[in-house]
Structure 1
């Protein structure tokens, strides 16, 4: 796929780049995408939920009535889950929801996500740039120049640029990541991918080697 390179001012840079087929033109694998997104969302869960079972509820362990001859059902102590104020049966316990996913599956999922964005023309290539100082106004101006102010965007940088990161963090519906931190979930969430020209090589290298 051949895309024109744009300046952050919205003008064309006068050249184009070819997106490598091995990353942006594969046969997408929906199941790999599903597994990777599920893994990412599971890893974000805190897993700190907990309820009190009968062993954690305060109260006496004395049997509240005799076993037979009362005309009613047998009963143990007041901490029984059958009584009001008693413990909970099989309640949630703190746990780790994350699970391991093979590296090849993760790479396939990210390449599939990039391919979907390329097929639907939701990728824009930007000429490398930076801001002299971190200002939200600068990033908003860039989005306005590119006509993406009302879209959910993801800007991919070759490496960490503090001024760009600080300029974008207070803007809704926008995210900035360097190549090392790009994941399938963020790729799919964004309506428009903004890839810095100098980041294309790093993306290909990371997903093919």
Structure 2
């Protein structure tokens, strides 16, 4: 069981809390975290870099001098890569750097990063942060009371809290984001992680589920039962077809001889 210190919104410590065992079980998979960080950084690249080859450089259509007789080296274009102002050889061209990793691998990397910070003792919990407006001084006082001044701090809120985000936007080395949007890179970038208690316990989620259960359900129209279909009339059975027997070949030849015309005399 991994425990984390708990702080009040004013920065006063109030003991320690056991983290959920089904998520914080001490699993730290470094190769998976490395893969997730590489994919995250690669996906930040635009891939719009481009250079002009001799195909795209303007000019160079005319041969600078004749092939023989000048004593100079042969040249066919002033836009050759050997010339100043010529095209670039093997330069970068636009490409897509996107790397996609499986969903379960991404989840394992995120879980491993949070477990690593919890095992190192750099993960803390704080009670609900509900600011009536942007309070930069109040949030800075909280971090100072927690001993996190001058450190890279990742503050994870329970859901989207605009006032908390605006309060920490002007504090150096502080990054504020919802707990559900955190990536492995964000956790490993920070020196300390501060999580709102409600984001881990899920108390607000349970209350939302209770509210939806208590709300009246919409009435659905009851469909009238369909009338039973009339039974289909039985089809009359056909008499079995009588197969025609083939006549013997001898009878066919005899009939053919009778039908043939007789030859006239003298011919």
Q: CA deviation at 1:94?
A: 2.0
Residue pair 2:26, 2:119 contacting (<8 A) in 1 also: no
1-side partners of 2:72 and 2:103: how far apart?
Answer: 60
Higher-Rg structure is: 2
Match of 2:252 in 1: none
**Alignment pair present for 1:147 and 2:137:** no
1-side partners of 2:36 and 2:95: how far apart?
Answer: 20
2-side partners of 1:201 and 1:51: how far apart?
Answer: 53
The CA deviation string for residues 112-164 of structure 1, in whole angstroms up to 9 with x for no partner, is 10111011100101111211110211211111121212211111112011110
The CA deviation string for residues 31-51 of structure 1, in whole angstroms up to 9 with x for no partner, is 111111111111112222222
2-side partners of 1:163 and 1:82: how far apart?
Answer: 59
**SS across alignment from 2:23:** helix
2-side partners of 1:96 and 1:58: how far apart?
Answer: 27
| Number of equivalenced pairs | 202
Residue pair 2:158, 2:178 contacting (<8 A) in 1 also: yes
2-side partners of 1:69 and 1:118: how far apart?
Answer: 79
Match of 1:186 in 2: 186
1-side partners of 2:191 and 2:85: how far apart?
Answer: 50
Counting only pairs closer than 5 Å after superposition, residues 136-175 of structure 1 correspond to structure 2 as 136-175=136-175
TM-score by length of 1: 0.88
TM-score by length of 2: 0.70
Residue pair 1:26, 1:111 contacting (<8 A) in 2 also: no
2-side partners of 1:133 and 1:41: how far apart?
Answer: 33
2-side partners of 1:47 and 1:167: how far apart?
Answer: 34
Match of 2:134 in 1: 134
2-side partners of 1:70 and 1:25: how far apart?
Answer: 80
Counting only pairs closer than 5 Å after superposition, residues 66-105 of structure 1 correspond to structure 2 as 66-68=66-68, 73-105=73-105
Residue pair 1:78, 1:86 contacting (<8 A) in 2 also: yes
CA RMSD in angstroms, aligned pairs only: 2.0
Q: Which runs of 5+ in 1 are unaligned?
A: none
Residue pair 1:156, 1:177 contacting (<8 A) in 2 also: yes
Match of 1:7 in 2: 8
